[in-house]
Amino acid sequence: MRRVGSGIWPGGGEDPWDSKASRWMGERGAALVRAGLLAWRQGQKEFPLKKTEGRRIGVIGVVKPPSWPDWVRDRSPGTIARSWKEHPPLWLLGCLPNLPVAQLAIEVGAQGPVETIQTKLGFRIEAMDRIRVWLADRADLVLWVEDADGRALASVWQKGEA
């Protein structure tokens, strides 16, 4: 397998593609989507996909375990209920670890496996093993995104030699 595209997003900043993620997803999730789109566009120069149907594209994301917002963490149910209306109605979406990866799959039109794994010892080996398996028979391209301490990393992998 070989890498045909890569991208890094530093977190925050304006979204040059106006992707849906920037409107309602937290900063970390939006950074994952933006890095993925950056890598995807670079990969498209190498391996363009003309048709939108039947894209055998997999998306795998490595994310840190989600955490509750400060206004929820260690608060009583009554306190949470009283402050509920002060927050955007879709706040919970930012707590879902698989949401950025699923959104990225939608943004690139992927029709293949989509999976999220949490950061832990050996996660890169685990992710690369899955990419190899997917490229063997389930996908023609795999887009990998990773939450890396305030920035997002992404790469596009394709069947073939390095």
Integer Cα distance of 103 and 96 in angstroms: 12
* Mean predicted confidence (pLDDT) in 109-128: 91
What integer pLDDT is reported at residue 143 of this predicted model?
95
Closest CA to 98 of 20, 9, 29: 29
Fold of 2-158: Peroxisomal Thiolase; Chain A, domain 1 (3.40.47)
- With cut-offs at 50, 70 and 90, classify the pLDDT of residue 52: very low
pLDDT at residue 50, as a whole number: 58
Tell me: pLDDT of 67 over 80. no
pLDDT computed for residue 22 by the predictor: 59
Which of the listed ranges 15-19, 52-56, 57-61 does the model predict with the highest average pLDDT? 57-61
Show the tokens assigned to 49.
Answer: 């996909």
**Residue-level pLDDT at 149:** 80
pLDDT tens for 17-34 read: 666 655 667 778 888 888
Q: How far apart are CA 99 and CA 63, in angstroms?
A: 10
pLDDT tens-digit series, residues 82-106: 888 888 777 777 778 888 899 999 9
In the chain, % of residues over pLDDT 90: 34
Quickly state the pLDDT bin for 122 (edges 50, 70, 90).
confident
